[in-house]
Homo-oligomer: A and B are copies of this chain.
Amino acid sequence: MRVKYDVMKTTLKNILIQKGFAESISDEAAIIFTDSSCDGVYSHGLNRFPRVLDDIDKGVIKVDASPKIVSNFGAIEVVDGQLGLGVINATFCMDRAIKLSKTHGIGCVAIRDNNHWMRGATYGLQAAKAGVIGVCFTNTTPNMPAWGGKDNRLGNNPLIIAVPNGERGIILDMAMSQFSYGKMEDLASKDMTLSQYGGYNLDGELSIEPKEILASQRPLPIGFWKGSGLSLVLDILASILSSGDSTQTIGYKKSEYGVSQVFIAIDPEKTSSKEMILKKIEETIAYVKDSEPIRQGNEIYYPGEQSQKRREENLRDGIPVNEEIWMKLASLY
């Protein structure tokens, strides 16, 4: 089943209005959720929306909260998210970082007490569309063991790096675990294997069987010890820059809320010419895409390229939806 972009957006917007959000906030949030599904990131678009509604009903997400700048110095700011809607808070922070980058060349905004920002690439795209480089990362509840450890003491802490390039940009959006739990659960339910090693089985051997990894709860950090170290330092940066909760303290809560995030924007045109920037990006992308493919006829993609193609398809044909989730949401309004 496919649903037209405008239908999905309007449906989600109306539900948020029903939940008590202001019309403008509801509109902004509905666009973000719909865009994620439209870009093919269904897990953090429509499919995640019911869980957000649940968090609103439980009071984990505060309907009347709004982000508040609590501290600033030059090009850095600290925001208290006051447990408002994650996507709205995160958009506010990247917007502030973009504005700071227009004034200072670079800007950095750290937020504490935010809720899940859903798809991190949203804020990378936001920066890229404003013509600036965007870097952002979030901590999460513990869901991955540190290198050498068995129990989950690190978050998968997604890191996003976005470069403006035309209408959409180059958007890297990567969690520190090789595969998300959502992906592994999805493949496990279909009796499918992972394309690469994704974690360890109960015997401590690398595995491509999602069921084995879900059983051991030992997903693989990207690059073994490297992704483990990167996850750790991102958590430290997010928690100290925002004076917010760390992965450890988020793990002590009943559910994942009140996370810490960092948003950095750099305006490259303050010190480099736009023509040079576009030329260099074009050359680098062309060079990498022109690699000799491992399998003849295969294409080499740059980060964000495939979601751009998916978007074009979904805007044209409608966005594929999980029928059960969609029908339930559509009946709410």
Contacts and interface: CB of A to CB of B under 8 A. Distances in A.
Interface of A: 71-78, 103-108, 110, 133, 145-151, 153-154, 161, 163, 170, 172, 174, 178, 196-197, 204, 222-224, 226-227, 229-230, 232-237, 239-243, 246-249, 264, 266-268, 270-273, 276-277, 280-281, 283-284, 287-288, 290-294, 298-303
A142 B303 CA distance: 18
Nearest to A162: B233
Given A74-B103, A227-B222, A294-B204, A283 B149 contact: no
Residue in A73, A240, A246, A283 whose Cβ sees the most chain B Cβ within 10 Å = A240
Contacts of A248: 283-284, 287
A235 to B, nearest CB: 6
A8 B288 CA distance: 42
Contacts of A237: 133, 161, 163
A236 to B, nearest CB: 5
Given A170-B236, A240-B280, A241-B271, A288 B74 contact: no
A153 B289 CA distance: 9
A246 B284 contact: yes
Contacts of A235: 284
Contact of A146 (B229, B268, B288): B288
Given A150-B294, A170-B232, A174-B226, 13 more contacts: A71-B271, A74-B104, A75-B104, A77-B271, A146-B291, A149-B293, A153-B291, A161-B233, A163-B236, A170-B236, A204-B294, A240-B280, A246-B284
Nearest to A245: B280
Nearest to A104: B74
A223 B232 contact: no
| Protomer copies | 2
A281 B239 CA distance: 9
A74 B232 contact: no
Contacts of A133: 237, 241
A223 B233 contact: no
Given A148-B301, A223-B178, A268 B240 contact: yes
A299 B292 CA distance: 42
A174 B233 contact: no
Given A107-B106, A161-B230, A283-B248, A271 B75 contact: no
Given A72-B271, A174-B223, A271-B78, A299 B148 contact: yes
A284 B232 CA distance: 8
Contact of A292 (B151, B170, B288): B151
Contacts of A78: 271-272
14 contacts: A72-B271, A73-B270, A76-B104, A76-B105, A76-B266, A76-B267, A151-B292, A161-B234, A174-B229, A197-B197, A222-B224, A232-B302, A236-B284, A240-B268
Nearest to A249: B283
Contacts of A302: 229, 232
